[in-house]
Amino acid sequence: GENVEQHPSTLSVQEGDSAVIKCTYSDSASNYFPWYKQELGKGPQLIIDIRSNVGEKKDQRIAVTLNKTAKHFSLHITETQPEDSAVYFCAPRPPYNQGGKLIFGQGTELSVKP
Amino acid sequence: NAGVTQTPKFRVLKTGQSMTLLCAQDMNHEYMYWYRQDPGMGLRLIHYSVGEGTTAKGEVPDGYNVSRLKKQNFLLGLESAAPSQTSVYFCASRATSGGGEQFFGPGTRLTVL
């Protein structure tokens, strides 16, 4: 099965700085790489995802980059704002996964200080 | 569209009591999931369903049962609650086609004394 590790577990940045969270996975067959954001007291919500035939994807201030050879992908947030403060989860998924199950990383708590 | 809703939002049980958590979705999704979230451990899959009348075990199924009698509802049951089941429970749903996005409910905070 898939082993997933996220680093760092906590990250504190000043407003306007950039933040990078890295997710390492073990199953080389994984072909879908999403990032979820969980605000306090709410369920996780997908913010960006990438498939294995693409190396990078951007959506305004957030981006995801994929290194299939090294088996890791990263979430990049630029010009951070206080509303970016949340817990972020990666959840890589292999194609043979029945039911589209996700295996989540342990989470990274991002704190953006004004 | 309400999306995914969960009932109740909070519950306190005594050891040995039973209860059922209800998840409902109005997006006509085939797939539904139950997760538990504990501090420092991310979300772990308890059970899931790939369609009405089907259920399957996830990563941590022991002590839980599920049923999917109607496509829009997914029930999670605890027959004899234990303190180790104190957690926040999230339900999610997903369409079979398109991207792999799972839509999550707001969660149920369960405390077992």
Report the residue of chain B nearest A2, measured CA to CA: B59
Amino acid at B28: N
Give CA–CA dist B50/B31, Å, rounded.
4
Q: Which residues, numbered 10 to 49 in chain A, qualify as contacts with chain B under a Cβ-Cβ cut-off of 8 Å?
A: 32, 34, 41-46, 49
- Report the 10 Å Cβ neighbour count for B46: 24
Decide if A98 touches B, using CB distance below 8 A.
yes
Using a CB-CB cut-off of 8 Å, the residues of chain A touching B33 are: 99, 101
What pLDDT score does A73 carry? 97
Strands B10-13 and B108-112: parallel
Using a CB-CB cut-off of 8 Å, the residues of chain A touching B59 are: 103
Is B105:A43 a contact under the CB 8 Å cutoff? Answer: yes
Does B5 score more than 90 pLDDT? yes
Q: Which residues, numbered 89 to 108 in chain B, qualify as contacts with chain A under a Cβ-Cβ cut-off of 8 Å?
A: 90, 92, 94, 96, 99-102, 104-107
Q: What is the mean pLDDT of chain B?
A: 95
Q: Which residue has the tokens 């996830």?
A: B58
Kindly report which listed range (B6-20, B64-78, B86-100) carries the lowest average pLDDT score: B86-100
Amino acid at B9: K
Using a CB-CB cut-off of 8 Å, the residues of chain A touching B90 are: 43-44
Q: What is the pLDDT of residues A4-56, one digit of tens each?
A: 999 999 999 999 999 999 999 999 999 999 999 999 999 999 999 999 888 99
What pLDDT score does B39 carry? 85
Give CA–CA dist A86/A59, Å, rounded.
18
Is A99:B31 a contact under the CB 8 Å cutoff? Answer: yes
Instruction: Please spell the DSSP secondary structure of B38-83, one letter per residue.
Output: -TTS-EEEEEEESSTT--EE-SS-TT-EEE-SSTTEEEEEESS--G
Decide if A93 touches B, using CB distance below 8 A.
yes
Of B73, B81, B79, nearest in space to B55 by CA: B73
| Nearest-neighbour CA in chain B from A18: distance (Å) | 24
- Report the 10 Å Cβ neighbour count for B53: 11
Is B104:A43 a contact under the CB 8 Å cutoff? Answer: yes
What pLDDT score does A21 carry? 98
Phi then psi for A28, rounded to 5 degrees?
-65, -15
Of B38, B85, B92, nearest in space to A107 by CA: B38
